[in-house]
């Protein structure tokens, strides 16, 4: 079951809703790769077709280093039962600017800043999803 987290700026109206963790459709490869870009989808499907067909997926809070957007990125581990050479981890790009330069963190371990005004952002749990 996943967690719904609200990221809210203390200074302005900025807020973002993050779906963290995992849900029921996480066992279906096609559903899992939906948030990835077309380019990434192609690459992921190729790796899967080569035989690395086991995977695990997590959604983690992250901040884009280019535009500062706070979002939940999908972290996909492919080939987890295979020798390390075949293990690969993929993260989704920033949904706002398409940057791959993102920083994943654990909520509460870092201080995050609002992409609009630079004020500090507080995280609170709003509910659960599956």
Binding residues for Zn ion (CB under 5 A) = 9, 11-12, 14, 64, 66-67, 69, 94, 96-97, 99, 114, 116-117, 119
Least distance between Zn ion and beta carbon 17 (Å):
16
Least distance between Zn ion and beta carbon 57 (Å):
21
Sign of the CA dihedral with 20 first, then 25, 28, and 33 last: negative
For Zn ion, the closer of residues 31 and 104 by Cβ is: 104
Dihedral angle over CA of 24, 128, 92, 34, nearest 10: 40
Rg of the chain over Cα atoms, rounded to whole angstroms, equals: 16
For Zn ion, the closer of residues 52 and 72 by Cβ is: 72
For Zn ion, the closer of residues 24 and 67 by Cβ is: 67
Least distance between Zn ion and beta carbon 72 (Å):
14
Least distance between Zn ion and beta carbon 86 (Å):
30
C-beta separation of 93 from 66 below 8 A: no
For Zn ion, the closer of residues 54 and 116 by Cβ is: 116
């Amino acid at each position: 079951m996943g967690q719904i987290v609200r990221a809210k700026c203390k200074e302005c109206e900025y807020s973002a809703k993050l779906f963290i963790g995992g849900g029921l459709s996480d066992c279906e490869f096609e559903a899992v790769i939906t948030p990835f870009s077309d380019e990434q989808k192609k690459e992921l499907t190729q790796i899967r077709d080569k035989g690395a067909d086991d995977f695990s997926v997590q959604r983690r809070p992250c901040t884009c280093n280019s535009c500062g957007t706070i979002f939940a990125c999908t972290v996909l581990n492919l080939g987890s039962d295979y020798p390390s050479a075949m293990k690969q981890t993929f993260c989704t790009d920033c949904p706002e600017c398409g940057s791959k330069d993102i920083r994943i963190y654990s909520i509460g371990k870092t201080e995050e800043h609002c992409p609009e005004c630079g004020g500090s952002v507080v995280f609170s749990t709003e509910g659960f999803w599956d």
